[in-house]
Structure 1
Amino acid sequence: MSSDHVGAHQGTVAMRTAVLAGEGLRTNRKHGQTMGAGGQHFTGLEAGLQVNRSLCVSGLVGGKEMDADATGCTDGSPKHQEGEHQVEQVAAQAAPEVQQHEDDEEQKSKAHRRNSGPIRPGFSCPVPGPHASKQDRQHHRPRGPEARVEHGGQRDGTVTKQHQVHREDEHRATVMNGERRRGRGTPRRRSTRQHQVVASVRHVRWSRAPVKKARSLRRSHGGGRVPRNVSSDTGVERLGDSLEGRRVVLGVSGGIAAVDTVRLARELRRHGAEVLTVMTQAAQRIITPLAVQWASSGTVLTDWSSGMSQLDDVDGVLVAPATRNTLASHVHGLQGGPLMMALSVARSRGTPIMAVPSMHHDLSTDPVTDDLVEAARAQGMAVVWGPDQEGKRKTVDHVEIVARFAHLLNATKKSRRSVAITLGATATPMDDVRRLVNTSSGRTGWALADDLYRHGHDVSCIAGLTTAPQPAWLPLVLRAETAPAMLDECLAVAKDRLDAWVHVAAVLDYLIDDPAEGKVASGSDALQINLIPGPKHIDALRERCEGSVRIGFKLETGIKQRELVRRAVAQVERAGMTAVIANRLEDLGHSDRPRGHLVDATGADYALNTERDLVEAIRRLIERGA
């Protein structure tokens, strides 16, 4: 390209920058037009001539600076006509090169757009495409709240026509406000492509549906896992099967204790019950049927329905809380709603009914209340009173309610047994202050007693020293802290000829021979203690328990499983046991190891992986009988 052509090309480029303001020209690249200050449109060569005339005014022709006289750019003079002729020649010769240059720029722009993704919300410029460099990817990052898109936007960064108009109006208002702040005499900052993109999305928001991502369990959430059998928001963890397959009616009357209905309904389901809830009008003013329906995951009756077929095939009725009005209506056969109908149907069919009263202390001690309770019990209703606290007879805990209700429903089943369970640790005294104690929390013994009671068995416990909480609903618990005292209690209980014995207690094998009186002084350098073998409880009870199911526990350490099974078989043969639960000290506390091994007289070994497996295996042996 010649120097004249270069000058014409540079003049054309300069036209798109500073000189446009001097002549009032504007370009429309899309349509290939140039508009003059008066609104005239120039295309092709005419636009080039018009631009170069503008350059003559500024003294820029051929890429060098000249004054107006040297170029002949004075309107009406011969030099002006000659200069204009020269400009036309230069522009005509430079037109192909200028057009080629513009085509090259257009190709570069298309290539850049091809290597870039769409303009997405949160980005100040097009997102780098798959062929973009690492530097471009690092540069194109979200710009925060400045690059958000409005509520009507699309995921690819486009917006609807309505929001586009709204966006342009907001942009114009922003520009006008900027001009007012700058003042009309201040030149406007030159807008680039990136600034145009930012300005186009600056005042709009982007509405995107939230994406739920799986989050790892934080330390603040606790280390426990969600049980596998909890499958939904209304699901519960199964804790037992004492109410498995049972369809029960949960009656809710208008006492303030109705707020505990949610806990009570879910506790019933934890033990396998199917719950049908019947609420009085007064109860609905305390707790909503919607909350009860969520907790029970079943039907909630609040008014009469045609036929009341929901009351068919009901295994038991539990009323908690039961007001005095409810008790009086039931005793005298009044029909004030679906709850009273359910109680009447249950009474006529011999279905078990349990009521848990809740009322003020003055009402509970009223002789009329005593008469109502006695009459209800005479008609077959089980009435369970709660503690007297704060001037009120409150309902018992929901766990105890369900345990007592399960016992009531299962007590009439076949193969119900009378069972004695020894549990806990035993001690032998050194003096009147100190004593030697073995290690046992009593947790397994309490769990076994609770399970047997819920399944309707008659349970008696002889408990030593325990740290695990005792279930308050067990009917008989005898305390014996020393090994001799526990043996005496066992011999006394054995007089009733029970159906089964389970020896879970950790009985000391050795006892202190001669305990000191008072307190041994603590200043002695050494203390000699003489230990003698203690009596074996299972051997001492063998004759008294003839014909009963007898299950013992044996804990060993430092031996292999084969030796463990051999020692368990030896104990079965020596003491006449039905079975022995053998375990090793090294396996306790490890979820990946068996909780114990059930060994019978034949030497068969059954691994029991969890404590629940252990409890269920013992219960089956007891129900099967000797």
Structure 2
Amino acid sequence: MLDGRRILLVISGGIAAYKSLEVIRRLRERGADVRCLLTHNATQFVTPLAVQTLSGNKVFQDTFSLTDEHEIGHITLARDCDLVVVAPATANLLAKMAHGLADDLASTALLVTDQPILVAPAMNFRMWEHPATRANLATLKGRGIHTVGPNAGPLAEGESGIGRMAEPGEIVAAIEGLLAKGPLAGIKALVTSGPTFEPIDPVRFIGNRSSGKQGHAIATALARLGADVTLITGPVRLADPSGVRTIHVETAREMLGAALGNLPADVAVCAAAVADWTVSNASKEKRKKYPGAPPPAIELAANPDILATLSEAGSARPRLVIGFAAETEKVLEHAKAKLARKGCDWIVANDVSPATGTFGGDFNSVHLISASGTEDWPRIAKADVAERLAWRIADFLKPGGAE
């Protein structure tokens, strides 16, 4: 049930807007307090009067309404709720959200809200499959926005394909799932992400091309399922995930220290691309280049093995330790060897050779390897990889759970 939960429903301009009326009815039946915001185009498909009658609340439409701004204000409207739902979410509105546009009340509210957002896409199948829409959706998922649908079936234009908005029952079920206590409630999770930078001198370092997108997405997905998440990240150009405690480090030794300092934990996901070596003769001053002089010798030493250390942490060892294997050749062979060598429970293996676009990209194709075998996952958005992995973790950690 949704007794007392406050939901802001944004209805945008698509033929599927008529389904939003049934969504409102079902939410009210479950005890939710539903406020509705209509775009200008939405009023071409459903009337404000019908929406107001079903919701029992005033309908909001105009950014510059002096009455609305006096009574509640668009910022309060966007924040005074437990969840923002966009149904239908047109390709246009998804594009506005992805690019941070705020040219009407709906896009302004979506930009200013600090609450979780669930979108139910609805559009022609060619619009859904367009690279721009796919990229926009990947961007939004990377920011932690939830989705439900779309489904396959007949479309308004007489065509058929993927693009139908999820049915009202599916949308309400997704809302209940997001607002309910998650399956990882009470679970403490530790996630490492990004690269590590090993200094050569105060201005130079040894590093790698990891963007941290996959590790940050995993931290977000675990938090969504109710886990208490600590994210330890190397230097990345990503915002700290919402609802996650984030610790910023630079070197492998700093990352290991932070990881050990946050034990015990129930699950550890080592998604960081930790540098294998550090510079043992790092200079405290910038190394200078002189005409005719040979380059300075750089001496390397092995970095601590964070994954192996967590796997051998004795009584403080997490119940589930997951490592990542970023390979450029013989992906499964090397990953299976790493699983045996490190002593962890699962390895998530992926091909990061330049042709795949995995490093820095929004998509990934992985293999989940454990003692019971190998699962080959299709190429999907990194946010979807994270969500699928989070649910696998939840299944494993639940009472009686197994691989």
2:189 is aligned with 1:419: yes
Residue 268 of structure 2 contacts residue 321 of structure 2 at CA under 8 Å; is this kept in 1?
yes
Give me the whole-angstrom Cα distance separating, in 1, the residues matched to 2:248 and 2:199.
16
Helix, strand or coil: the match of 2:394? helix
1:264-413 paired onto structure 2 within 5 Å = 275-276=23-24, 291-292=41-42, 301-303=51-53, 357=76, 397=111, 400-403=114-117, 409-410=178-179, 412-413=181-182
Deviation at 1:289, TM superposition (A): 7.2
Cα pair distance change 1:325/1:409, threshold 3 Å: farther
The Cα of 1:589 is off from its aligned counterpart by 2.1
Contact kept? 2:327, 2:334, Cα under 8 Å:
no
Match of 2:246 among 444, 461, 477: 477
Q: 1:456 is matched with which residue: 205, 226, 232?
A: 226
Paired AA for residue 503 in structure 1: C
Q: Does 1:441 align with 2:211?
A: yes
Counterparts of 2:243 and 2:23, CA distance in 1 = 25
Alignment of 1:568 with 2:335, yes or no, is yes
Q: Deviations over 1:67-100 (max 9, x none)?
A: xxxxxxxxxxxxxxxxxxxxxxxxxxxxxxxxxx
Q: 1:478 is matched by which residue type in structure 2?
A: I
Where structure 1 has 5 or more consecutive residues not aligned to the other structure, the ranges are 1-244, 253-260, 311-321, 328-354, 360-372, 385-393
TM-score by length of 2: 0.57
CA positional deviation for 1:398: 5.7
Whether the 8 Å contact between 1:428 and 1:437 is mirrored in structure 2 is yes
1:275-295 deviation per Cα after TM superposition (whole angstroms, max 9, x unaligned): 5399xxxx99xx767645679
Equivalent residue for 1:536, pick from 272, 288, 305: 305
Structure whose alpha-carbon radius of gyration is higher: 1
Judging changes above 3 Å, is the alpha-carbon distance between structure 1 residues 508 and 251 closer, same or farther for their aligned structure 2 residues? closer
Alignment match, 1:624: 395
Cα displacement (A) at 1:432:
1.7
C-alpha change, 1:395 and 1:304, in structure 2 (3 Å) is closer
Q: TM-score with structure 1 length normalisation?
A: 0.38
C-alpha deviation, 1:419, in angstroms: 1.7
Question: Is this contact kept in 1: 2:191–2:219, CA < 8 A?
Answer: yes
Identity within the alignment, %: 23
Unaligned runs of 5+ in 2: 28-34, 58-67, 85-107, 118-143, 147-174, 398-403
What RMSD in Å do the two structures reach over aligned CA positions?
A: 4.6
2:348 touches 2:369 (CA, 8 Å); kept in 1?
yes
2:321 alignment counterpart: 550
- Report 1:156-171 matches (<5 A): none
Conserved? CA contact 2:280–2:299, under 8 Å: yes
Distance apart, 1:546 and its partner CA: 2.4
Q: Distance in 1 between matches of 2:47 and 2:240?
A: 27
Q: Give the aligned partner of residue 589 of structure 1.
A: 357
Distance 1:445 1:295 in 2: 41
Q: Which has the higher helix share?
A: 1
Deviation of residue 249 (structure 1)? 6.2
Does the Cα contact within 8 Å between 2:364 and 2:385 map onto a contact in 1? no
517 and 547 in structure 1: CA distance in 2 versus 1, 3 angstrom threshold = closer
CA distance in 1, matches of 2:39, 2:189: 41
Deviations 1:97-129 (A, max 9, x none): xxxxxxxxxxxxxxxxxxxxxxxxxxxxxxxxx
Query: Aligned AA for 1:502?
Result: V
Q: 1:623 to 1:479 in 2, by over 3 A?
A: same
Structure possessing the higher relative contact order (Cα contacts under 8 Å, 6 or more residues apart):
2
